[in-house]
Amino acid sequence: MDLSNGGSLDETSPVWSSLDAVKNNRVFKLDGERFWPYDPLAVEAQVQGIANMIQERFGQTEH
């Protein structure tokens, strides 16, 4: 969800609370300033940042 330009999110909404991703703690809030650029170096850093968020939340996975 893009919250720029005055967008908003009501996290107390019953609709929001009913989403499976919300119920299962699988929603990640991303910093728009960090995730807006789309040049190759920025995208690489974004992927690493997302991987770190997933690892921190769900722990190490076996390969």
Q: How many whole angstroms separate alpha carbon 56 and alpha carbon 45?
A: 16
- Per residue in 2-58, pLDDT tens? 777 778 889 999 999 999 999 999 999 888 888 888 899 999 999 999 999 999 999
Structure tokens at 21: 């991703």
- Is the pTM above the cut of 0.85? no
From 16, 12, 14, 18, select the one nearest 1 (Cα to Cα): 16
